[in-house]
Chain A
C-alpha cells in the first residue's frame, strides 16, 4: 500500500469522526434486511439537521451481491437536505460489488472533517486522504481521474465523488460513481459536502462460499440466461429506457414544457430510436451485470477557432434525463440536451431535479414572476440550451438570492417567487417522466422516497389504459402498497429494479438459500411490509404528514391518457394508502 504525504491516520483529529463497517453475511437474511433498512432510524438522531455532522450516511449492499448477476446496487440512506426527511438513493456501477468484495455489508459515515478528505477503503484498511487540493475543482470528471490515478484496485474498485454542487450544498447534488452512475436523488452529494468528504474509493477481491456449489452454478445459469435472453430484459439492453419516449408521447403521457402538455411534437427527435441510430457510441455495464443498459451517446463539438477540429465526449442518457432536460424544457436539440447533461455531470447534480427546477423557472420567467433581474440577464425560453447551461453553472455558484433559491429546488423557489401551482414536486422531490394518470402521481406522493421507482404507479395507469378498466382509489392504494412492499425486499437484496421480472419470489428464495439464508414466502412478505412501515414511521417522526401533501395544480389541469385527474380521487387514495401501510 502506497502511503501518500497527505494520508491521515484514522485517529487524526482532522479525519472524519467515525467510519463503521458492518458484516452482514453471517446474519440470517431477514435480520440483515431489517437491520439494513432499519439502520437509518437507529443511526439518525431525531430532528437532526441534514447538513449537520450528526446526519449519518449509510451505504449498504445485500446478501446476493457478488454471487448472482444483476444484484449490483448499493442503497444509500441518509436524511435528505432536499426534502428534510428520509433520504434513500440507489446506485449501481461497481459500488455494490466493491463494497461486498472489500468485506462489508454496510459502511456508516458520521461526523465532519476539519478539512476536505476522501476516504479509501481497501479490504480491512481505511485511509483518509487529504482532499484540500481537490476541493473546488471545476469538474467532477477531473476529480474521478485523479482518484483513479492515485489509488489502487483498478477493475475491482468503485470511485464515488462529488462535484462543486455537493461542496456548495445544492440540495439535489449527486454522488457520481464510475462516471455514469449516480446516487442521484435527494441530495446525498450535499451531505458528502457538508462532511467535507470529496469522495470514497473502495476495493477488494474476496471469495464468497456457497452452501451447495452445484446448485449455485445451476441457479446462476438460470438467472444469467433470463438476463441475456428474456424478452423482459430486451428493452434495457437494446434501446435502453429511452425507448419509453415515443410510446409515452403517443399516449399523451410525456411531460412537456413543464407539463403544460403531455405531448411533445418533436418527440421523434429525442426518441431512443433516433439517439441509438445517430448518437449511441458505447454501451457499458455495472459490475456483474451482462445487460449493459448504460447508454453513452457521443457529443461532437466543433472548436470555434479552427475548422475541422472537434472535441468528442461521451454522455450517459436514459429516459429520465431525456424527459427532464428534453421534453420538459421543450427542447429537441440533441446536442444542447447532451451539453446540459454533461454540465450536470461536471457539476455533480441530480439531472431530474435540475430539469424540473429549470422548467419551473422558465414558466415563471414567461409569466413575469421573475425577470432578467433575477436570472442575472439570462432569457429562459423553452429549448434555449445555452441559457440553461449558464443557469446550471449559476445554480452551483449561487451569485444571488434567485440562484440560491433554485439551488434548493422548484418547491422552495416557488415559496419565494410564487408559481407553486406549476412547481412539479411531490413530497418536495421533483417529478419523473410519466404523466400516465393518477397512479403515477400517487406513487410519487406516497412512495417512501417520492420516486417513480418506489411503487411504479405508472404501471397501474398503463394497465388500466390497456384494459379499459376504471381505476378506483381502493385498487390504486392496494396496488401501490403491494408493489412498494415487494420492492423493499428487492432493494434490500440488493437487486436492480430492472431485474424485477427475473427475481420472482421463487428465484429470491432459491438464491437466498444458496447463499445460506433460509426464509419462507411469509417471511419475505412480512419483511417487505415491515421495512415500509418503518420507513413511513421514520418519516412521520421527522415531521412528514400525508394529510398536508401538496398536489401541484398543474397535474390536475393537463389531461392524462386516463383523462383529467380528480383531486378527490387523489386525496382518497392517499388516505387509504396511509391507513393500510
Chain B
C-alpha cells in the first residue's frame, strides 16, 4: 500500500519549519531550496500556521497539465518527477490547488515530495505523520 504524508493537526504547528529543513537535509543540503514542504502563517503569526504538503492525489492535476510527461503517476497515488523531461514551465505549480508543488529556483524544477517520511520525526508536536493511503472512488 502506498503511503503519504498527512497533516494531523495544523493547529498544533508552531511554525519552526523543522520539517522544511529536514526535507532539504535528506539529500544532504542545508537551506530550503530542496524542500517540498511549505509552512506559512495563516495571515500573520497571531492566526497560527498553514502546513502545505503533497497529498498524493489519485488523479493529480499537476501531472495532467505537464506537457512533457515529467510527472508520471506513482502507483497508489501522487507523482514522481523525471527531471530530465522537465522544461521548467511551472504548469504544475499553477495546477496544484494546495500550492504543494514548490519551485527549486536553483535548478528551475519543481520540488516533488517523494513520500519518504524523513520529515515527520522532526516535527516536535506530531503535526505530520506518514500514513497508508485509503482510496475513495470518484
What is the interface of chain A, defined by CB distance below 8 A to chain B?
Answer: 66-67, 69, 97, 100-101, 123, 144-145, 148, 154-156, 178-180, 205-210, 213-214, 216-217, 220, 224, 228, 282-292, 296, 313-314, 515
Contacts and interface: CB of A to CB of B under 8 A. Distances in A.
B25 A287 contact: no
A15 B79 CA distance: 47
Interface of B: 14-18, 21, 24-25, 27-35, 38-41, 43-46, 48, 105-106, 122, 124
B24 A207 contact: yes
Contact of B40 (A154, A224, A296, A313): A154
Contacts of B27: 213
Contact of A207 (B14, B30, B43, B124): B30
B41 to A, nearest CB: 7
B40 A155 contact: yes
A290 B48 contact: no
Given A213-B27, A213-B28, 12 more contacts: A66-B30, A69-B18, A100-B31, A101-B32, A155-B38, A207-B33, A210-B29, A213-B29, A217-B25, A217-B28, A284-B15, A289-B16
A314 B47 CA distance: 9
Contacts of A210: 28-30
Contacts of B35: 205
A208 B31 contact: yes
B23 to A, nearest CB: 11
Given A145-B44, A288-B16, A220 B31 contact: no
> Interface centre among B25, B41, B46, by most A CB within 10 Å?
B46
A205 B29 CA distance: 12
A289 B14 CA distance: 9
Given A208-B31, A314-B46, A292 B18 contact: no
Contacts of B46: 179, 296, 313-314
A288 B17 contact: yes
A285 B14 contact: yes
A6 to B, nearest CB: 23
Contacts of A292: 14, 16, 124
Contacts of B33: 205-207
Contacts of A216: 25, 28, 30
B14 A284 contact: yes
Contacts of B31: 66-67, 100-101, 205-208
Nearest to B111: A205
A345 B105 CA distance: 36
B32 A206 contact: yes
A146 to B, nearest CB: 11
Given A209-B29, A285-B14, A290 B122 contact: yes
B16 A287 contact: yes
Contacts of B28: 210, 213-214, 216-217
Nearest to A290: B124
Nearest to A313: B46
A145 B45 CA distance: 11
6 contacts: A144-B44, A148-B43, A205-B33, A206-B33, A288-B16, A296-B46
Contacts of A314: 46
Given A144-B44, A216-B25, A290 B32 contact: no
Given A154-B40, A286-B16, A288-B17, A179 B29 contact: no
Contacts of B32: 66, 97, 101, 156, 205-207
A522 to B, nearest CB: 27
Contact of B45 (A123, A208, A284): A284
Contacts of A155: 17, 38-41
Contact of B105 (A205, A217, A285, A296): A205
A145 B75 CA distance: 43
A179 B42 CA distance: 13
B16 A179 contact: no
State the 10 A-B residue pairs at the shortest beta-carbon distance, nearest first.
Answer: A213-B28, A155-B40, A208-B30, A285-B16, A207-B33, A292-B14, A67-B30, A208-B31, A207-B31, A154-B40
B44 A207 contact: no
B14 A283 contact: yes
B61 to A, nearest CB: 21
Contacts of A285: 14-17
A348 to B, nearest CB: 16
Given A154-B40, A155-B39, A296-B46, A207 B16 contact: no
B14 A288 contact: no
A285 B127 CA distance: 14
B26 to A, nearest CB: 8
Contacts of B24: 207
> Interface centre among B15, B21, B24, B40, by most A CB within 10 Å?
B15
Nearest to A285: B16
A292 B14 CA distance: 6
Nearest to B19: A290
Contacts of B16: 285-292
A179 B17 contact: no
A48 B16 CA distance: 39
Given A224-B18, A284-B14, A206 B106 contact: yes
B44 A288 contact: no
Nearest to B32: A205
Contacts of A515: 30
Contacts of A154: 40-41
B117 to A, nearest CB: 15
Nearest to B21: A288
> Interface centre among A66, A285, A292, by most B CB within 10 Å?
A285
Contacts of A284: 14-15, 45
A217 B43 CA distance: 33
Nearest to A148: B44
A515 B48 CA distance: 32
A209 B44 CA distance: 31
A213 B17 CA distance: 20
B10 to A, nearest CB: 12
A178 B17 CA distance: 14
A318 to B, nearest CB: 15
